[in-house]
Structure 1
Amino acid sequence: MDILYLLLKIAAVLGMFTLMFLPLAKVTAWDDDSWYVRFVVSALATTAWVALLVFVPGAIIACAVVWGVLLLLSVRHPSLRNLLPFWRWLLSLRHRIKGDSPIFIVERVLGLRPIEDASTDFKGVRDYLAAYSGYDENGEAMLEFSCGISGVTDEFVDKTAKAGLGAMGAEFYKVEHLGPGHWLLHFWKTEPKNPLDDAIEIKASDLSDWDGKTVTYGLTEAGEPAKLSYAQTSGIVVGGVPGAGKSAGATLLTLPLLASPKASVAIFDGKGGMDWHWAEKAASLYNNDCDLDLPTATEQLEQLAQRCVDDLKSHPWSDSDPDFWHAGATALHPFHLVVIDERQTLFDVTGRSKEDKALVERCKRAVATIVRKGRSAGWCVMLLTQKPTADSIPTNIRDNCVVRFALRVTTREAAEAVLGSIPDGDPRPTEIPAPRRGGAVVQGEDGHTVAVRFAYLPVTEAARALESSTLETVVHGLEE
């Protein structure tokens, strides 16, 4: 009978030992080495203490004293808690059971308040909100994360998300900046299909009347409609190498305004070609002789700049409110857009005579005046170029343009000439594949870039849209 009792004790201890190690059956890269060591030490220590009590019943008093001593010492040396029965094992077990919860994904992938023996650099404070959706049928998991902890920057999130690929069982990731201290992390088990790789072709019937503020021009990388709001926007920069789709993009950005009585569009075509011929009849001012007649272009720009200043001073749309956008664009007081294509024709002084250099400086001052003062007056300048350089895009003008589109470029210098500095981890125009005609990255007021692709509308369709008396509501792709 004693032998049977002994065998039952041994079986009970071995059974408990086996059960305590079951959570290790699916250990992956999700679990760091320190967690693994703590779990093993705690499980072994727990098994040893239980075995001592089972085989030496009178040892309970001695065990209680040793536990008390270890508990007191662990105040100074937290690692001693691993030797207490069940202590670290239960904490680690909770970690394993809740492995798919937003809290534990943030802790394990981003390293905020991980389960460990010492305080972290973040002082063990859980000062964040998180929402997690597991892998769907497309093999994508998403973690939305808001954090106010000092030190959790864009660079930190991108670095830790990349390091957390193994923990997520993923091969690819993307960090989407949603706002200050707010990110959306995407993880994919296999390389995802990029919706921007498919060309977006539309017809004139796919366009809607301009609502006085927003233009829909294509798609974002998330598959959402890409929109530009002219409200409170006084400067737009568009640049890219020849053939990248700049003219097609500019068509989508300007056509709704050209077709609307709520907008007045002045066009300066520095190339002197036929790229903007489709818009000539609808434009309030059309000049495609800038390269041949710089004095006339200079005078026209200065006249527009003076009108902008006059509007700002008198605000004719309201006797009491100096902000154009509070009243909004109307046929009586339209929004004014000045388009300058191939801006280097008006801005670059290379090889110019002394007289022409003086005219170029006057052009720069006129454009800078509209960009600086036009926001509240309902004026905006759109600058386009196929040669993104510091000479063709003066930094004092570019830096005051809150919206900047960079289509494909081949050098970092060209990208920065359009966008300025690009935060780490953001999409870059040098990464746009050559076949993705119309692909671009757009930079907003927060300094971050978003990958987009312009839809393609043939200029014949654009001309037909301007001849129509009405434009149908957008369907199909752009507003769905």
Structure 2
Amino acid sequence: MEILTLILKIAAVVGLFTLLFLPLAKVTAWDDDSWYVRYTVSAVATTAWLGLLIFFPGAIITCAVVWAILLLCSLRVPALRNLLPFWRWLLALRHRIKGDSPEFIVERVLGLRPIEDAPTDFKGVRDYLAAYRSYDDSGEALLEFSCGISGVTDDFVEKKAKDGLGAMGAETYKIEHLSPGHWLLHFYKTEPKNPLDDPIELTASDLADWDGKYVTYGLTEAGEPARLSYAQTSGIVVGGVPGAGKSAGATLLTLPLLASPKASVAIFDGKGGMDWAWAEKAASLYNNDCDLDLPTATEQLENLAQRCVEDLKSHPWSDADPDFWHSGASALHPFHLVVIDECQTVFDITGRSKEDKALVERCKRAVATIVRKGRSAGWCVMLLTQKPTADSIPTNIRDNCVVRFALRVTTREAAEAVLGSIPEGDPKPTEIPAPRRGGAVVQGEDGHTQSVRFAYLPVTEAAKALESSTLETVVAGLEE
């Protein structure tokens, strides 16, 4: 009987030891050594204390006194808490048994731990906020994470997300940079279908009145409507290789304004072809002869720049308010958009005569004036080119354009000519598949880029929309 009792006591001690290490199952590969050591010390100490009570039940009072002394001493030496029974096991259990808690995902799977602080548990006070949604029927899990710890950068999060694919049981991931220090991580069990791979085609019946600010031109990679706000935007750059969908994209960006009494659109077509013929009658100024008659184009651009400056000085939209957008566009005081397609025809000095070089410099100054001063005056310049270089789009003008669209390009130099520097990990226009006509990378004021795809509207449909007397909105057409 005594032997059976001894066997049962030994089994109880072994079972207890095994139970204590269950929270470590399948995740030790993502633990740091110091945490593992502290946990092991705590588990061994717990087993020793309980083993002592099992074999010597009368020692419970002595044990209680020693525990109380250790607890008091731990106020000065926190490491002594590891010697208390079940201390670290209880701290870890709620995060490690519940494998879908934000703390578990952030600290134990992705390894995004708090700052080092030995006296506290989990390596420091958590200087982050996290929310987690486990895998749904679509095979996607979401981790929203914001952190103010120095060193937790875009590159750091990118690397940790990639390293954590195995722990998450995911095949791929995607990271959205929501704001500085704030990310949304998507984990997918299988490669998700990209909504941008499907073309989007519109008809004239989908089009509409401009609301005075926004134009919806396609879809984002998240499947949401992609929108451009002209409010407080004085410069837009659109560039891409021939056939990438630049002209089709420009059609959707300008058509709502051409159809609206709240906007005035001047068009300079440097190619000199028929790409913009559909808009000729609706445009306030139409010049498709820039390459052959540079003096006229120069004079027209300078006149527009002068009107922009006068608007800014006189504030015709309000006697008291110096910002056009506080009142908004109206038929009395319309928003002015200046479109320059194949802008290299008025910017590039390569092979030009001395007289033409002087005219080019005047064109650059006129455009730069509108881009610099147009934000509060209700003026904007849209520059388009299929030859993205620093000669086609002067960097001093590009850098003042807050919205930049890069359709597919083949070189890093061409991508940077349109977008400037691209943050590491952001989508790049060189990665756009050739079949994705109208695919683009758009860069906003925060410098980060996102993948979008322009919808396609045939120019015959655009012309039909301008002739129609009952227009609906592009926004409504795309969001229905």
What TM-score range do you get, normalising by the shorter chain? Answer: over 0.9
| Alpha-carbon distance between aligned partners in 1 of 2:115 and 2:38, rounded to the nearest angstrom | 10
Q: Cα offset for 1:435? A: 0.7
Matched residue, 1:166: 166
1:14-25 superposed matches below 5 A: 14-25=14-25
Q: How far does the alpha carbon of each residue in 1:136-194 deviate from its partner, in whole angstroms, 9 at most, with x for none?
A: 11111111122333333322322222222223222211110112322211111111111
Q: Cα offset for 1:58? A: 5.9
Q: Cα offset for 1:409? A: 0.7
Q: Cα offset for 1:333? A: 1.1
Conserved 8 A contact 2:95-2:101: no
Q: Cα offset for 1:448? A: 0.7
1:311 pairs with 2:311: yes
Conserved 8 A contact 2:78-2:119: no
Conserved 8 A contact 1:112-1:126: no
Conserved 8 A contact 2:337-2:382: yes
Unaligned runs of 5+ in 2: none
| Identical pairs, percent | 88
Matched residue, 2:184: 184
Matched residue, 2:193: 193
Conserved 8 A contact 1:176-1:183: yes
Conserved 8 A contact 1:79-1:117: no
1:354 pairs with 2:354: yes
Letter in 2 for 1:313: K
TM-score by length of 1: 0.92
| Alpha-carbon distance between aligned partners in 2 of 1:346 and 1:103, rounded to the nearest angstrom | 57
Matched residue, 2:151: 151
| Alpha-carbon distance between aligned partners in 1 of 2:123 and 2:41, rounded to the nearest angstrom | 25
Deviates more, 1:401-410 or 1:319-328: 319-328
Q: Cα offset for 1:50? A: 2.0
Q: Cα offset for 1:43? A: 2.9
Deviates more, 1:14-23 or 1:107-116: 107-116
Matched residue, 2:101: 101
Letter in 2 for 1:291: D
Number of corresponding residues: 479
Letter in 1 for 2:246: K
Q: Cα offset for 1:33? A: 5.7
Q: Cα offset for 1:16? A: 2.2
1:50-449 superposed matches below 5 A: 50-57=50-57, 82-113=82-113, 118=118, 124-449=124-449
Letter in 1 for 2:188: W
Q: How far does the alpha carbon of each residue in 1:297-346 deviate from its partner, in whole angstroms, 9 at most, with x for none?
A: 00000000011111111111212212111111111111110000001100
Matched residue, 1:43: 43
Letter in 2 for 1:354: K
| Alpha-carbon distance between aligned partners in 2 of 1:27 and 1:373, rounded to the nearest angstrom | 57
Q: Cα offset for 1:440? A: 0.5
Matched residue, 1:458: 458
Conserved 8 A contact 2:256-2:473: no
Q: Cα offset for 1:207? A: 1.3
Letter in 2 for 1:15: G
TM-score by length of 2: 0.92
Could you say if the C-alpha distance between residues 340 and 473 of structure 1 is closer, same or farther in structure 2, counting changes exceeding 3 Å?
A: closer
| Alpha-carbon distance between aligned partners in 1 of 2:381 and 2:423, rounded to the nearest angstrom | 25
Conserved 8 A contact 1:31-1:167: no
Conserved 8 A contact 2:388-2:415: yes
Tell me the secondary structure at the aligned position of residue 376 of structure 1: helix
Conserved 8 A contact 1:109-1:161: no
Could you say if the C-alpha distance between residues 21 and 236 of structure 1 is closer, same or farther in structure 2, counting changes exceeding 3 Å?
A: same
| Alpha-carbon distance between aligned partners in 2 of 1:364 and 1:257, rounded to the nearest angstrom | 25
| Alpha-carbon distance between aligned partners in 1 of 2:338 and 2:52, rounded to the nearest angstrom | 86
Q: CA RMSD in A?
A: 2.6
Conserved 8 A contact 2:117-2:124: no
Q: How far does the alpha carbon of each residue in 1:53-101 deviate from its partner, in whole angstroms, 9 at most, with x for none?
A: 3224566677678768877897898666555432222222232123312
| Alpha-carbon distance between aligned partners in 1 of 2:30 and 2:471, rounded to the nearest angstrom | 54
Deviates more, 1:82-91 or 1:367-376: 82-91
Unaligned runs of 5+ in 1: none
